Structure 1
Amino acid sequence: MPTPIETVSAFFAAFPEDHGRVAIQRWFTPSTVWVNEGVAITTGIDEAIALIDALEKASGIATVRFEMLAIAADGNSVLTERLDRFERADGSEIGAAKVMGILELEGDHIVAWRDYFNVNFAQKLSDS
C-alpha cells in the first residue's frame, strides 16, 4: 500500500483529469469532508463534484493544477503547501493562490481535506 504522501501526491497529480472528477471519485469516500475555509464545505463525492461544477459555472474554472511547494506527513495526516493554479477550459490561467492544507487518510482514501488560503483570492476569482 502506498504511503500517505504517495497517496496525496497521486491525488493531486490526477486532479486535472476531467476537472477533478476522476481524482475525487478515486480517492474520496461517501463521507469525505472537504473544507475550503471561508468558501465552502462539502461531504462526500457528489457534493464535492457539485462544488467543482458550481465553480466552473461561476468563474470559468475548468481545472486546478497543483504545484507542491512542501509536503510532510504525521501518521495518516499529510500537510501540504501548494501553489494552486486555476485554469480555463482552453488551458489559460485564471489565477494562482498559495494554499496550506491538511489531508487525513484512512488506508488509501482521503476522509478529510481542509485548505486554508486568503479568502480575498476566492472573491477576486469570482469577479473575473
Structure 2
Amino acid sequence: MSSDPKDVVIGFCDAFEQLDVERVLAYLAPDVVYQNVPVPAMHGVDEATRFLVPILTKAIKIEFKILSLAVSASGNQVLTERLDRLHFPTGVVDIPLMGIFTVRDGKILEWRDYADCSAAAQAFADAKIDLTAPD
C-alpha cells in the first residue's frame, strides 16, 4: 500500500468499489475520526467499522465516482468531490458530496464527508434500505 496521500485515498475508494471490507478497514488509522457532517463524528476504527460494515455487506455494488481531486499545500490532505452511488437489492442511493481526508503514514487519520444528510436519508428510505436491521 502506498503512503502517498492521493494514492491512499484513491485506493480506499477502490476498496469500497470492490466491496472489500478488510481492505477498506486496513486504510483507516486506529484513531481515525470519521464524520458525515453534520452528524457527530465517529472516533476510532471500531466505531467506523460499525457504520461501514453494514453498507459494505448489504450493497451489491458501490461506485465512488471522483469528479474532482485536489491535494492540499501541506500534502497530507486530499479533497474529493464525489458521487457515491450505492446499489442495494431494493434500489440505488446517489449521494453527491465533498470529502476531505487527512492521511498520516499511509493511513486515513480523518475522513469528513459533507452532503445533504436529509436527502441521503430520504434516498435510503425511498430505496427501502435499513442499515440497522440484521441481514
TM-score scaled by length of structure 2: 0.77
Classify 1:87/1:30 alpha carbon distance in 2 versus 1 (closer, same or farther; 3 Å). same
Classify 1:86/1:53 alpha carbon distance in 2 versus 1 (closer, same or farther; 3 Å). same
- Give 1:50's aligned residue: 50
Deviation sequence 1:66-93 (CA, Å, 0-9, x none): 00000010110000000000111x4x75
Post-superposition offset of 1:22? 2.2
Choose from 83, 98, 101 the match for 2:99: 101
Distance, in Å, in 2 between the alignment partners of 1:40 and 1:118 is 14
User: What are the residue-to-residue correspondences of 1:49-128 with 2, within 5 Å?
Assistant: 49-53=49-53, 61=59, 64-74=62-72, 75-88=75-88, 90=89, 93-128=91-126
User: What are the residue-to-residue correspondences of 1:10-29 with 2, within 5 Å?
Assistant: 10-18=11-19, 21-29=21-29
Distance, in Å, in 2 between the alignment partners of 1:86 and 1:21 is 15
SS at match of 1:127: helix
Distance, in Å, in 2 between the alignment partners of 1:64 and 1:35 is 19
Answer whether contact 1:72 1:78 (CA < 8 A) is retained: yes
Post-superposition offset of 1:63? 5.5
Q: Which runs of 5+ in 1 are unaligned?
A: none
Q: Which protein is richer in helix relative to its size?
A: 1
Question: How much is the aligned-residue C-alpha RMSD, in angstroms?
Answer: 2.4
Answer whether contact 1:39 1:122 (CA < 8 A) is retained: no
TM-score scaled by length of structure 1: 0.81
Stretch moving more, 20-29 or 2-11: 20-29
SS at match of 2:38: coil
Classify 1:64/1:28 alpha carbon distance in 2 versus 1 (closer, same or farther; 3 Å). same
Post-superposition offset of 1:114? 0.3
SS at match of 2:41: strand
List structure 1 runs of 4+ shifted beyond 3 angstroms: 53-57, 60-64
Post-superposition offset of 1:62? 5.4
